[in-house]
Homo-oligomer: A and B are copies of this chain.
């Protein structure tokens, strides 16, 4: 069980890290927001880097558990030819929901903005988080897609999975851009709506002919 202080630090840290990025967020800013002392971070986590890792681990672990549970369902329903739409949904929905669910009402932070740090911040800081939390999950999904699309060349499958991840990542963190380019037409404030737009696009891309 986490101490209350530890939880308060994690809560404050994930909001600030998501908003401002990893290196732009100071331990001072975190401790002030969490109403704890500066030394508390080092006592509870050891260092800023270890705190960052803990922030990612807390959010990613349950997301990936849910992803794999949903994937198992999809594979069990059609073991020989699992449904592409189901695989994509299992990959996207759990993380999209965290991206559209504010952590608390005072600060409706997009967790997508936190996730994007895994892909963009200087490698060594988040590499451990990425490898521990994401790599094995990604391989499970590529393997499922391979079963669903047996005729697709392996190399093409890797590329297309990569494109799917790109769509997902961009959808999670670049909502302001979508809002701006669409002149305010598109608000997009729930995961199901985003998913409904995304799934047909991704499935069509995955199943398209390689060159036409």
The answer, among B165, B182, B200, for a CB contact under 8 Å with A211, is B200
**Shortest Cβ distance from A143 into chain B, in angstroms?**
11
Task: Spot the interface stretch: A34-42, A65-73, A166-174.
Answer: A166-174
Q: Mark out the residues of chain A between 115 and 162 whose CB falls within 8 Å of any chain B CB in the assembled complex.
A: 116-117, 119-123, 135, 138-139, 142, 154-156, 158-162
The CB with the most chain B CB atoms within 10 A, among A23, A117, A166, is that of: A166
Number of interface residues of A (CB under 8 A): 58
Q: Is the CB of A208 within 8 A of B212?
A: no
The CB with the most chain B CB atoms within 10 A, among A159, A202, A208, A209, is that of: A159
- Answer whether residue A61 sits at the interface, using C-beta atoms and an 8 A cutoff: no
The CB with the most chain B CB atoms within 10 A, among A185, A202, A204, is that of: A204
**Shortest Cβ distance from A200 into chain B, in angstroms?**
5
The CB with the most chain B CB atoms within 10 A, among A20, A167, A209, is that of: A167
What are 28 A-B pairs with beta-carbon distances under 8 A? A19-B122, A21-B23, A21-B120, A21-B121, A24-B24, A24-B121, A119-B177, A123-B176, A135-B181, A138-B181, A155-B182, A155-B185, A158-B185, A159-B186, A160-B201, A162-B174, A163-B167, A163-B170, A163-B201, A166-B167, A166-B170, A200-B208, A200-B211, A202-B205, A203-B208, A204-B207, A205-B205, A205-B208
Chain A positions near chain B (C-beta within 8 angstroms):
19-21, 23-24, 116-117, 119-123, 135, 138-139, 142, 154-156, 158-163, 165-171, 173-174, 176-178, 180-182, 185-186, 196-198, 200-212
Given contacts A142-B181, A159-B197, A201-B206, 14 further A-B contacts (CB under 8 A): A19-B122, A119-B173, A155-B185, A156-B197, A158-B178, A160-B201, A162-B174, A162-B177, A166-B166, A167-B167, A200-B205, A201-B208, A203-B208, A204-B208
